[in-house]
Amino acid sequence: MTYTNYPCYRHLGQVAARLARFVPAKSRQWATGNYLLDYEDPDRAYGGFIQTLLIASERTGLPNVFMFMVEKHSLGHTRYYALYLKVEGLAAALYEELHKISHIETQKEKISRVLDVLMNLKVSTENPENLHLELILKIDGRTIVSQYMNQTSFSNWTKVVKKLSSLYFEFSMNYQSLNFPVIISTSRPSDIGTPSLIQIRS
């Protein structure tokens, strides 16, 4: 912020430069931080600004809240893009779903032995985080995409993916793919009034 040339933050850069002489930089983890990058070309009258905000989880120490912001300006016109993500418990949910797919009795037996050893050690266990996934995409301050997913909706989504992946084996013989030619054709008028034929072949 001290050396910023971005027009909206230039007045703050002068104040930050004065404070930077007296406030020592703290050594902190990379998982929580606000990272800024800007550029300005006064001769061509354009520039940009990139911001990445990370907030770490208290339990894992890894980032679980992300904000990515890109802003650019040229000749008085400004475009603004922002992506907000909140991810909690995604690793545990993915592990659980993948474990269901690759479930083998021998693995279950080995895991049960490991669990027996850990139970005898009387180690305190922590319950995994509940799945919480948020996604918000904004362009010029307007929300374009907003998506929320919890454990129930994530399980439903993985069931759909499993059903779609099983279609491959329905159209195969001895693990060899059977190709069915498909032709999709449609006729639409063009902008100048003449008919146009669109065909999609596989």
Please state, in angstroms and rounded to a whole number, the distance separating the CA atoms of residues 202 and 200: 7
| CATH among 3.40.50.170, 3.40.50.720, 2.40.50.140, 2.20.50.20 for 7-161 | 2.20.50.20
Question: Strand, helix or coil at 201?
Answer: strand
- The mean predicted confidence, pLDDT, of the chain is 76
Domain spans of the chain?
7-161
DSSP secondary structure string, 127-171? PPPPPEEEEEEEETTEEEEEEEEEHHHHHHHHHHHHHHHHHHHHT
pLDDT confidence of residue 172: 56
Residue 109: its pLDDT value, please?
59
User: Which amino acid is residue 7, in one-letter code?
Assistant: P
CA 62, CA 59: separation in Å to the nearest integer?
Answer: 8
Q: Specify the pTM.
A: 0.55
Give 125-163 pLDDT, tens digit per residue: 666 678 888 889 998 888 888 888 888 888 888 888 777
Residue 149 CA to residue 62 CA, distance in Å, equals 20
Tokens coding 115 = 């669990």
Q: Are 158 and 165 within 8 A, CB to CB? A: no
- Structure-model confidence comparison of residues 120 and 167, the more confident one: 120
Higher local confidence (pLDDT), 73 or 106: 73
For the stretch 157-163, contacts whose Cβ atoms lie closer than 8 Å and that sit 24 or more positions apart, written own/partner, are 158/97, 162/101
Asked if pLDDT for residue 67 goes beyond 90, the answer is yes
Question: One-letter amino acid identity for 98?
Answer: L
The yes-or-no verdict on residue 73 having pLDDT over 80 is: yes
**Does residue 48 carry a pLDDT above 80?**
yes
